[in-house]
Amino acid sequence: MNSKILVATHKNYRMPEDNLYLPVFVGKELHPDVNHTFQGDNTGDNISAKNPHYNELTALYWGWKNLDIDALGLVHYRRYLTEGHSKDLSTILNQEQLATLLKEADVILPKRRHYYIETNESHYVHAHEPEPLAITRQVISKEYPQYLPAFEKVMKQRSAHYFNMMVMKKKPLNEYCTWLFDVLAEVEDRVDYSNYTSYEQRVFGFLSELLLDTWLYTHPEYRTVEVNRIFLEKQNWPVKIAKFLKRKVTGHRS
């Protein structure tokens, strides 16, 4: 099986040596002189210029539109899928492991991220501008009503497959990306994010993290499997937890 896993990055960083992985410099259209080593997301059919608002999705769009392969994945320069636990590049999924997983599944996902004290919806509202999520609900209800039950299910859950990380076979990938980018385009037409902070202007990347499970729940015909997710750098958990609790009480603007 001919497969590629895109590694979305916005800066120079160490990358896997396995040719399964293709580093993609996102937002290349806006930063043409930053990196000349990695593949840019601004060739062929692309949305590279939307990277400040779509995050790593500009890499996914580029791969979906421009690579003719049997399976496509997306990870981040610091986050990878693995069947192990060690936080180094030697343990990330390799060609053999990927092929074995895809014999039994159509979609490979990272293990769920859990928010034990709040739902996905309440977490989003506390962490981000709430209006785009409300508009997403309106768009799905009006334009894609068959997905609304799954969307509401995801909103009420306390976990989800976050980070826009996955590997999909060609058929589900094409169906998912067609739906995802159509939904986001409809939301984009309705959201005025011009006065948002630069962080909150990454709105469509944030929204998409809740749309993956929405799509998967609506398409149970596709088999899924979960693997571990590793983060290559140290995280300051006391600070992260303090910020999480602060947003829970006072909202993201404080």
Question: Which DSSP string corresponds to 5-24?
Answer: EEEEESS-----SSTTEEEE
- What is the pLDDT, as a whole number, of residue 172? 98
The phi and psi torsions of 75 (rounded to 5 degrees) equal: -135, 180
Percent composition of the chain: helix, strand, coil (DSSP 3-state, to 5) = 45, 20, 35
Query: What does each of the 254 residues of the chain score in pLDDT, given as a tens digit?
Result: 999 999 999 999 999 999 999 999 999 999 999 888 999 999 999 999 999 999 999 999 999 999 999 999 999 999 999 999 888 899 999 999 999 999 999 999 999 999 999 999 999 999 999 999 999 999 999 999 999 999 999 999 999 999 999 999 999 999 999 999 999 999 999 999 999 999 999 999 999 999 999 999 999 999 999 999 999 987 554 544 455 555 555 566 55
Cα torsion 27, 31, 34, 36: sign: positive
Residue 96 to residues 3, 6, 21, 99: CA-CA distances in angstroms?
Answer: 11, 17, 13, 5
Look up tokens 């404080």; give the residue: 254
Other beta carbons less than 10 A from residue 195's beta carbon:
8
Q: Which long-range contacts (CB under 8 A, 24 or more apart) does 33-42 make?
A: 35/11, 37/12, 38/9
The pTM of this model reads 0.93
Please give the sequence-ordered ranges of beta strands (E in DSSP) within 46-140, or none if there are none.
Answer: 71-76, 79-82, 107-110, 113-114
Q: Give the whole-angstrom CA distance, residue 209 versus residue 225.
A: 17
Point out which residues pair with 107 in neighbouring strands.
168, 224
DSSP state of 210: H
**What SS3 class is residue 58?**
helix
- Report yes or no: 120 and 155 within 8 Å, Cβ to Cβ: yes
- What is the pLDDT, as a whole number, of residue 3? 98
- Given the DSSP bridges, would you call strands 21-25 and 3-9 parallel, antiparallel or unpaired? parallel
The phi and psi torsions of 175 (rounded to 5 degrees) equal: -65, -45
- What is the pLDDT, as a whole number, of residue 254? 52
Q: Name which of 88, 87, 60, 73 is nearest 20 in CA terms.
A: 73
- What is the pLDDT, as a whole number, of residue 237? 43
Q: Give the whole-angstrom CA distance, residue 133 versus residue 252.
A: 15
Other beta carbons less than 10 A from residue 61's beta carbon:
22
- What is the pLDDT, as a whole number, of residue 36? 87
